[in-house]
A and B are shown apart, each in its own frame.
Chain A
Amino acid sequence: MEDILIVRPEILPDAFLWIFTVSTLVLVFGVAYAATITLAKMGYFSKKWMNLGYLFWALQTYCLYDLSVQIQSEPFTTKVLMVSMMAYFFIPHLYFRLIEDSDKRYEQSADIAEHKN
Chain B
Amino acid sequence: MLNSIKTNHFEGNASKELGMMYFRVAIILFGAQLLMGLIAAIQFLVPGFLFELFDFSIARMVHINALVVWMLYAMIGATYFLLPDETDVEPIGIGLGKLGFWVLTAAVTVVVLVFIFVQVGAGTEASIWLITEGREYIEAPRWADIGIVVVVLIFYFNVFATFIKSSKKTGIMTVMIANLLALAGLYLAGMFYTDNISMDQFWWWWVIHLWVEATWEVFVGTLAAFALIKLIGAKREVVEMWLWIEVLMLFGSGILGMGHHYFWIGTPEYWWEIGALFSALEPVPLIAMFVHVLYDWGKEQGIAKAKGETGSVITNGPAMAWIVLNAFGNFLGAGIWGFFHTLPQVNIYTHGTQFTAAHGHLSFFGAYATILIGMMYIGVQGAYGAKRMKMNFNSKMGIFLTAFGVMGMTVALTIAGYEQVLVERAELGATWNAFFVAQNLPWYVQGQMWRAIMGVVTLIGFIYLAVDLLTIGKKAQAEEA
- A-side residues, CB < 8 A to B, are 6, 8-9, 11-13, 16-17, 19-20, 23-24, 26-28, 30-31, 34-35, 38, 42, 44, 71-73, 92, 95, 98-99, 102-103, 105-107, 110, 113, 117
Flag whether B28 is at the interface (Cβ < 8 A). no
B336 and A8 form a contact (CB under 8 A) = no
Point out the residue from B238, B269, B290, B295 that lies within 8 Å of A42, measured CB to CB: B295
Is A106 touching B343 in the complex (CB atoms < 8 A)? no
Other than the known A16-B418, A107-B235, what 18 A-B pairs have Cβ atoms closer than 8 Å? A9-B345, A23-B339, A23-B340, A23-B343, A23-B346, A24-B336, A27-B331, A27-B335, A31-B331, A35-B294, A72-B345, A95-B288, A99-B238, A99-B295, A102-B237, A103-B235, A103-B238, A110-B237
- 30 CB contacts below 8 A, A to B, read A6-B269, A6-B272, A8-B344, A8-B345, A11-B345, A11-B346, A16-B418, A16-B422, A16-B426, A19-B340, A19-B346, A20-B341, A20-B346, A20-B418, A23-B340, A24-B336, A24-B339, A26-B339, A27-B339, A30-B287, A35-B291, A42-B295, A42-B298, A44-B298, A71-B343, A72-B345, A92-B291, A95-B291, A98-B245, A106-B237
B→A interface (CB under 8 Å): 169-171, 174, 235, 237-238, 241-242, 245, 269, 272, 283, 287-288, 290-292, 294-295, 298-299, 331, 335-336, 339-341, 343-346, 348-349, 418, 421-422, 426-427
Nearest 8 pairs of A and B residues by beta carbon: A106-B237, A71-B345, A23-B340, A13-B426, A113-B237, A13-B422, A27-B336, A102-B238
Smallest beta-carbon distance A79→chain B, Å: 14
Q: Which residues of A contact B169 (CB under 8 A)?
A: 117
Name B290's contact: one of A23, A31, A110, A113 (CB within 8 Å).
A31
A105→B237 CA distance, assembly (Å): 9
Cα A95 to Cα B349 with chains together (Å):
36
Inside 8 A of A16's CB, which chain B residues have their CB? 349, 418, 421-422, 426
CA of A31 to CA of B291 in the docked complex: distance in angstroms? Answer: 9
Q: Is the CB of B346 within 8 A of A103?
A: no
Q: How far is the CA of A99 from the CA of B418 in the complex (A)?
A: 40
Q: Chain B contacts of A27 at CB under 8 A?
A: 283, 331, 335-336, 339
What residue of chain A has the Cβ atom nearest to residue B272's Cβ? A6
Report the minimal beta-carbon distance from A81 to chain B, rounded to whole angstroms. 9
Residues of B within 8 A of A102 (CB): 237-238, 241-242
B339 neighbours in A (Cβ, 8 Å): 23-24, 26-27
CA distance A54 to B224 in the complex (A): 30
A residues less than 8 Å from B418 (CB atoms) = 16-17, 20
Given the interface contacts A11-B426, A99-B295, does A71 sit within 8 Å of B346 by beta carbon? yes
Residue from the set A27, A38, A71, A106 with the largest chain B CB neighbour count within 10 Å:
A27
A16 to chain B, nearest CB (A): 6
- In the bound complex, what is the Cα–Cα distance between A107 and B344 (angstroms)? 46
A44 partner residues in chain B, CB cutoff 8 A: 298
Q: Are B348 and A8 in contact (CB under 8 A)?
A: yes
B353 to chain A, nearest CB (A): 12
CB nearest to B173 among chain A residues? A117
In the bound complex, how far is the Cα of B238 from the Cα of A102, in angstroms? 6
Contact A103–B287 (Cβ < 8 Å): no
- Which residues in B have their C-beta under 8 angstroms from that of A107? 235
CA of A17 to CA of B426 in the docked complex: distance in angstroms? 13
Q: Which residues of A contact B349 (CB under 8 A)?
A: 11, 16
The CA-CA distance from A8 to B264 in the complex, in Å, is 13
